[in-house]
Amino acid sequence: MTQKREIGEFLQGVRHVAIAGHVNPDGDCIGSCMGTFLYLRDNYPDIRTDVYLEPARDVFHFIADLDKAQDILPEDAGCDLLILLDISSRNRIGVAGGLLEKAEKTLCFDHHVTNPGGFTWFFNEPGASSASEVVCGFMDEDRMSADCAAAIYTGIVHDTGVFQYASTSPETMRLAARLMEKQIPFSRIIDQSYYQKSWEQNRACGQALQSSELFYGGRLIMSTLSAEEMRALHVTPADMDGIAEALRSTIGVEASAFMYETEPGLCKVSLRSKETADVSALAQTFGGGGHMRAAGCTLRCSLAEAKEKIREGFGSLLQEEQP
C-alpha cells in the first residue's frame, strides 16, 4: 500500500480523540485500535487520546498500554474526533457506540465490504488484509515506534490467518517485513496470540469437531455448542476464536458454520468459506456482515433453529441439494 495521507491531516484543531473498535474485539480490531493509539501517543502528545475496547483476551496483553483501554464509556465522555477501526457497520461499534452522536467528526478505517459508511471521513479497502494494514497506510512508518509496529503486526497476523488467507497480498507481506525491521518479537506475537490456546479452548474445539456434521454432499460442515456445554467446559464466548477456521480446514468442504449460545434465545454464528461461497452475503441476510470468506451474525432464536436457518441459507450459496 503506497503512502496516502498522514493521519495528522485529520487532527487539525482537535484536542480530544477517542478510538474505538467493534464488539467482541478480535486481533485485528485490538491491533488496529492500539496501533493507532500508540501512534498518536508518540507523535501527537498534546492531543488527549482515549481508547475504548471490550476486555481483550490475556494472549493480547503483550501489546503496550493495552491496560489503558477503557471498557466502560463514562456518562460524560465526549471527543472532538472519533476514530473507528474494523467496525464493518455503525451498529457493530462496541464500548464507544454512544460517542457517535456526540463526536464533532468521525474517521473510519475499515476493510469490510458490508460497511455502508456515513462518517466524516471514510477509508474502506475491502481488498486489504486487515484494518491494521489500512490504517498503517496513513502512518509515517519512520515515526512508528516498535510498540506501534507490534500492535499493527498483530492485527495483520490475525486477519490473514498468519498470512494464509486470500486477502494476503504482496504488499501485505512487504508491510509485515517493514514492521519486522522495527525489531518486534514477531515469532512470539504469532505463537502467543494466534496459536496458543488454553486447555479449555482446546477441549471446546475438540468437542465442536467431534459433534460436527456434513451437509450438501460434504461441502458444508456445521457444529454447535450450547450454553450448557460451554459451562461444562468452563469456556466463554471469548474462547470460541478459531473453531470456525478449524472446521473449515476439513478436506472436501467449501464452507463452515459454527454457532454457540451467548444466552438463552441468542446465538452467535461464525461463517467461513474457502473459494466460492460469499458468506458475507449470507450473514447480511441475518443482519450481520463481514468478508466474503469470513463473516458472522447473531440470531435471536434457539440453537436448533439457528442451525436450521443457516443450513437452509447455505443451500443457494452451495447450489446443491442436501443429500
pLDDT, tens only, 62-117? 999 999 999 999 999 999 999 999 998 888 899 999 999 999 999 999 999 889 99
- Parallel, antiparallel, or unpaired for β 220-225 and 213-215? antiparallel
In a domain, 1, yes or no: no
CA distances to 179, 224, 237, 300, 323 from 242, in Å? 25, 14, 12, 23, 28
Pair (209, 294) in one structural domain = yes
Give the per-residue pLDDT at 4.
Answer: 66
Give the per-residue pLDDT at 322.
Answer: 41
Pair (160, 210) in one structural domain = no
Single out the residue of 276, 298, 280, 278 nearest to residue 289, CA to CA: 280
pLDDT value at 290 more than 70: yes
Does residue 22 contact residue 87 with C-beta atoms inside 8 Å? yes
Pair (191, 203) in one structural domain = no
pLDDT value at 289 more than 80: yes
Pair (207, 271) in one structural domain = yes
pLDDT value at 2 more than 50: no
Pair (66, 163) in one structural domain = yes
DSSP letter at 92 equals G
Domain termination residue (choose one: 195, 224, 245):
195
Pair (175, 285) in one structural domain = no
Pair (153, 249) in one structural domain = no
In a domain, 28, yes or no: yes
In a domain, 2, yes or no: no
Single out the residue of 127, 125, 93 nearest to residue 293, CA to CA: 127
Mean pLDDT of the 155-182 span: 96
Pair (164, 296) in one structural domain = no
Degrees to nearest 5, angle at CA 32 with 1 and 86: 90
268 Cβ contact list (under 8 Å, min separation 6): 237, 240, 259, 260, 261, 262, 296, 298
Pair (137, 176) in one structural domain = yes
Cα 39 to Cα 278: distance, rounded to the nearest angstrom: 35
The model's pLDDT over 25-61, given as tens digits with 9 standing for 90+, comes to: 999 999 999 999 999 999 999 999 999 999 998 999 9
Residue 243: its H or E element: helix 243-248
Q: Which three cell numbers stand for residue 27?
A: 486481533
Q: Which residues pair with 272 in a beta bridge?
A: 256, 294
The model's pLDDT over 129-157, given as tens digits with 9 standing for 90+, comes to: 999 999 999 999 999 999 999 999 999 99
Pair (246, 176) in one structural domain = no
The number of domains in the chain is: 2
Cα 164 to Cα 128: distance, rounded to the nearest angstrom: 14
Cα 63 to Cα 151: distance, rounded to the nearest angstrom: 6
Q: Which domain holds residue 32?
A: 7-195
Does residue 272 contact residue 244 with C-beta atoms inside 8 Å? yes
Does residue 87 contact residue 108 with C-beta atoms inside 8 Å? yes
Single out the residue of 229, 186, 234, 184 nearest to residue 210, CA to CA: 229
Spell out the SS3 assignment of 105-169: EEEEEECCCCCCCCCCEEEECCCCCCHHHHHHCCCCHHHCCHHHHHHHHHHHHHHCCCCCCCCCC
Give the per-residue pLDDT at 81.
Answer: 98
Q: What CATH code is carried by the domain that includes residue 285?
A: 3.10.310.30
Single out the residue of 67, 66, 86 nearest to residue 26, CA to CA: 86
Give the per-residue pLDDT at 323.
Answer: 42
Q: Which residues pair with 85 in a beta bridge?
A: 109
Q: What CATH code is carried by the domain that includes residue 62?
A: 3.90.1640.10
Sign, Cα dihedral of 216, 218, 220, 224: positive
Cα 54 to Cα 63: distance, rounded to the nearest angstrom: 15
Instruction: Kindly report whether the global pTM for this prediction surpasses the value 0.85.
Output: yes
Q: How many CB atoms lie within 10 A of CB 102?
A: 14
Does residue 286 contact residue 297 with C-beta atoms inside 8 Å? yes
Pair (144, 223) in one structural domain = no
Does residue 17 contact residue 48 with C-beta atoms inside 8 Å? yes
In a domain, 229, yes or no: yes
Q: Which three cell numbers stand for residue 63?
A: 501489546
